[in-house]
Structure 1
Amino acid sequence: MKKSNILTTKGGWVLLLAVLLFAACKKDDHFVGGSLTKDHTDLTTYDYLKANPLFDTLILLIDKAGLKETINSNITFMAPTDYSIKQFLKVRTKELQDELNDENVLYTLDSLKAPEVRDSLMAYMYDGKIQRSDLSLEQQIYKNKVGENFDIRLKKTDQYGGILSEGVRYIYVAKIINGLDPDPLPDDFPQGDRDIEDLLQTTGIITKTGVLHVLANTHAFYWK
């Protein structure tokens, strides 16, 4: 009797999980990880970022580069998180320490020059609104505000072990290196020519001024 109850309970949880995942995919397409986020906000893109501690360092860079008005224009901004920026500073610090043979030297936000910060951040911006409804499983090229080409599209994954028969479709963005990669990618395709791909962990936030997506914490700032 107890064994039967356990099996029924487990089955119920599996069914409930499937229902919840299906509902999440249908109703909250902008959400991938972290906490639930409403897809519309009355805040500007800049104010939305400033209100979230995940972007404290990013806001400092936006201010340093004088890009507040640009961030609040009619653009799509694929925001890197503070984790990405801090990892970038850590890598730069290691390079500088090796170059100067000094383990005490640090590469900080103050070490970054405003023109470099401006170009780096504008590489995450696209004119107009890029939303999930504009994307498909096919490769699509978009040009950012510094003239670089990116492939932005949906990719199907089976992250939930087959619970969802249709799989889950996430938005990926790839910096194109020496031309768009063939799809599917051959195993022997040159490593140096492979596009640099990242997952968007939160997508489709419609702000008062534009569209905001958030790159995964594992993203290397400016694809370095």
Structure 2
Amino acid sequence: MENYKKTKMKTKYILFLAFVIAIMATSCKKDKYIIGGSLHDPHVNMTTYDYLKTNRLFDTLLVLIDKAGMKEEINGNVTFFAPTDYSIKALLVRREEKLQQDMNDESLKYTLNDLPVPELRDSLRSHLFDGKIIRESLSLSNKLFTSKSNEAFSVKLIEASSPGVVSTKPQLLFLVKLRNGLDPDPLPDNYPDEDKDLFIMAQTSNIQTTTGVLHVLHNSHRFYW
């Protein structure tokens, strides 16, 4: 229960932070992106893979896509909830710490080359969905989808807490990994932690490429779930 309270507090903090950044981004005419929102002009004249290549935030992600041989899948008629390099780096740190602990050797390293290709493909496919999931088709209610790894997810909009600066609350896009079905609402106090759904915010959303749709997950996303 304590872990759940910490997660809930963290989610509230992310929502508030995203709201502040969204206001800042909206007030800057030169900034084309809205954090947690959508692009002023969501269309880009390039494939999803090529768009990822334009941003250093995805350098390591592209290495993993190439390693998994999934460039064509990424460029298919799909929606990709892309993890950033921060999420991938955090995964490598966790794997390295576990390896060092298991082998009792702090000199051991865990690199991208150590990631098993079948596991990598399965994880990337858990972020891929057939067809185009765009903000205009979403609402504050859960909309259920099945990823290309055959896992259940919901995609929904959540209103950010407003400190009273504006009358209209920003609606942030969330990818929700379901665990044993949708959480009941309201959530009982004794609901098992292992069954609670995992919420991750899209820090940039609704990028519509020539091949599909791209949403960028928050840097805090736990890659491999």
Which bin holds the TM-score, normalised by the shorter protein?
Answer: 0.7 to 0.9
**Contact 1:205–1:211 (Cα < 8 Å) also in 2:** yes
Q: CA 1:37–1:23 in structure 2 vs 1: closer, same or farther (change >3 Å)? A: closer
Other-structure match for 1:112? 115
Q: Of 82, 85, 90, which aligns to 1:82?
A: 85
Amino acid at match of 2:120: V
SS of equivalent to 1:221: coil
- The CA distance in 2 between the partners of 1:193 and 1:21, in whole Å, is 34
Q: Of 41, 45, 60, which aligns to 2:44?
A: 41
The size of the alignment, in residue pairs, is 202
**Contact 1:30–1:205 (Cα < 8 Å) also in 2:** no
- The CA distance in 2 between the partners of 1:29 and 1:205, in whole Å, is 11
1:222, CA displacement in angstroms?
A: 1.8
- The CA distance in 2 between the partners of 1:86 and 1:127, in whole Å, is 27
Gaps of 5+ in 1: 1-17
- The CA distance in 1 between the partners of 2:215 and 2:69, in whole Å, is 21
Other-structure match for 2:184? 182
- The CA distance in 1 between the partners of 2:150 and 2:220, in whole Å, is 24
Other-structure match for 2:12? none
**Contact 2:25–2:34 (Cα < 8 Å) also in 1:** no
**Contact 1:29–1:203 (Cα < 8 Å) also in 2:** no
Amino acid at match of 1:45: T
Moved over 3 A (4+): 20-25, 27-30
Q: CA 1:107–1:37 in structure 2 vs 1: closer, same or farther (change >3 Å)? A: farther
Gaps of 5+ in 2: 1-19
**Contact 1:122–1:145 (Cα < 8 Å) also in 2:** yes
SS of equivalent to 2:73: helix
Matched, 1:55 2:34: no
User: Map of 1:150-189 to 2, 5 A cutoff?
Assistant: 150-158=153-161, 160-189=162-191
Q: Identity over the aligned pairs, expressed in percent?
A: 50
- The CA distance in 1 between the partners of 2:33 and 2:154, in whole Å, is 19
Matched, 1:219 2:192: no
Amino acid at match of 2:74: I
Q: CA 1:54–1:137 in structure 2 vs 1: closer, same or farther (change >3 Å)? A: same
Q: CA 1:87–1:201 in structure 2 vs 1: closer, same or farther (change >3 Å)? A: same
Matched, 1:205 2:207: yes
Amino acid at match of 1:125: L
Q: Of 65, 68, 76, which aligns to 1:65?
A: 68
SS of equivalent to 1:222: coil
1:22, CA displacement in angstroms?
A: 11
SS of equivalent to 1:94: helix
Deviation track 1:63-107 (CA, whole Å, cap 9, x = no partner) reads 000000010010000000000000000001001111000001111
Amino acid at match of 2:128: M
**C-alpha root-mean-square deviation of aligned residues, in Å?**
2.6
